[in-house]
Each structure stands twice: as C-alpha cells, then as structure tokens.
Structure 1
C-alpha cells in the first residue's frame, strides 16, 4: 500500500471559495434573467451594443473576447427575439453590422437593474471599504493574469 500523504481540504483553497461565491452569484443572476427570457451571454452581448452605433461582428468579438462564430450564434438568437438587427454596412455592402432594436435598447436598463439587485443581494452585507477592497483585488488578479474576455458562462 502506498503511503498516504496529507492533502488539504477543499475549503483550504482560496479558489474553492471564489468559485463557490461566483457560482452562486452567477446562478442567481441567470435565474433572474431567465424570467426575462435572456441568458447571461445574451445580456453581455446586449450591454456591449448598448449606446453604440451599428457595430461589425468582428469588432464586437474582439471587444468581448469571443470568437466570431460565438458572436454570430448570439446575434442569431437575439435577432430571433427581435432585440438585435443585422444589416449591410453603410460603408461596405459586403460587411455587416449589428445594432440593438428599439426593444433591445429599451430592455438593457431593466436588465442592468436586475444585475444591480443581484449584486446588492450578495454584496450589500459588506461594508463599503470591504466591497472596494474586494473589487480592487479581483480587478488586480484579472489584470495580472490578462483576463480580458467577458465572462458569459
């Protein structure tokens, strides 16, 4: 029989706690969005287009850190929901642009309010300085590891 080496408990790992909190926060938000028939990925897409002129899918893919194929799939779903339009670019008829419809533009502030409420449910228990510290630390970790893609899952 091999000697058994001591192994730390799962809860001894910071990543365990980070994932636990992240999963709960994300799932609660996904549930809220599902009531509006929008996924987290679709919300991120809508927010990325909000307030912008018609945008080429390639630029959106770059900004969101996603593949063009993923952007196309999301766009197709949102077009089917009448939240996004796709049309030929004014500058180059072969190129396409994506833009929010009136309905898409109108829904973004409501979805942002859901995101704010979700944050409040989980993080209002923190003192303002604790929340600022948590945000600063998470942003610092993301920056150091060059995490730039928008987390949509």
Structure 2
C-alpha cells in the first residue's frame, strides 16, 4: 500500500514534486562547474561571491556582506578570515562603532578582479544569454519571496 502511494505522481512527497530539490541540485552543480574555473584564480565559489560584492563597493561591514549574500556571521566570519590569511582582504573594527567590522580589499584582492573578468563569459558560454537573463530574473524574484518569508519567520520567532 505504501509503495502505491509513493508511486502516485500526485504524491506531495515525491522528490520531483519539490521546488527545493532542483534548486539544491542546481546549487551543487553550479559549485562544481565554478570550482575548476575559480581554482585557477586560487579562490573558492563562496570567496568569489564575497569578492563580487567588494568589487562593487568597499568597505563593507560583515553585516552588510552577510545580508547581501544571505549568510550568517557564523558562516561568513571563517570565510573572511581565510580570505584575509590569503591576502585578499583586510578586516578591522570600525573606529566610529567598535561593534562593526569593516572589510576592505587588499591590492591583491583588487588585482584579482582583472583576472576574474573571464569567469562570467566562461560560465555562460554555449547558453542562450536571453534565457539565462530571464532565469536570473525569475530566480532573483524567488529569492526575494523566500527572504521576505524568512524575515517574517524570524520576527515571529519561528524556524
């Protein structure tokens, strides 16, 4: 009887009925595809994301980086420490507010931008650019919906 329920295509617990699974799978595949491209730059995918934000504007606070990348400080702080030890960025307390930590790029971190200019083109090579842009817009909208839901859950004391 249980096998018949699980085999039914309308079963809400089928893996292929979940929205979360293709997003999870896509994230894992994206990480795998970026890894060899970024390895030549000496950085990981999460480090690349931090650099993208800092190349747009610096300094950034740890909190602002976390908000932009949807990472909590427990995840972000070790990542930033590794990047600092690799000479890509500096972390220092904000003199105006000692509770805040400011992140700035080093010369090495700024120079890496030039070396990374090929990454977007390499990753999108062979794909329909209009289709990718439409997908990016749809996924961005989904992220906004999920972030709004996450914010409500936090305010209400939920998970």
Q: Work out whether 1:27 is the aligned partner of 2:32.
A: yes
Alignment of 1:42-121 (within 5 A): 42-92=47-97, 95-121=100-126
Distance 1:3 1:46, change over 3 A: closer
Residue 85 of structure 1 aligns to a residue whose secondary structure is strand
Aligned to 1:137: 138
Instruction: Tell me: higher relative CO, structure 1 or 2? Use CA pairs within 8 A at least 6 residues apart.
Output: 1
SS in 1 for 2:142: helix
Residue 127 of structure 1: how far off its partner (Å):
6.6
Count the aligned residue pairs: 145
CA-CA distance at 1:62 after TM superposition = 2.4
Counterpart residue number, 1:37? 42
Change (3 A) 1:106 1:147: farther
Q: What TM-score do you get using the length of structure 2 for normalisation?
A: 0.69
CA contact (8 A) 1:25 1:118 kept: no
1:59-89: CA deviations, max 9, x gaps? 2222322112222111110011000012232
2:156 is matched with none
Report the 3-state secondary structure (helix = DSSP H, G, I; strand = E; otherwise coil) of the residue aligned with 2:102.
strand
Secondary structure at the aligned position of 2:60 is classed as coil
TM-score when scaled to structure 1? Answer: 0.71
**RMSD, aligned CA:** 3.3
Give me the whole-angstrom Cα distance separating, in 1, the residues matched to 2:4 and 2:104: 59
2:57, 2:44 → 1: CA distance?
21
Q: Tell me the SS of whatever aligns to 1:146.
A: helix
- Structure 2 spans left out of the alignment, 5+ residues: 151-159
Higher strand content, 1 or 2: 2
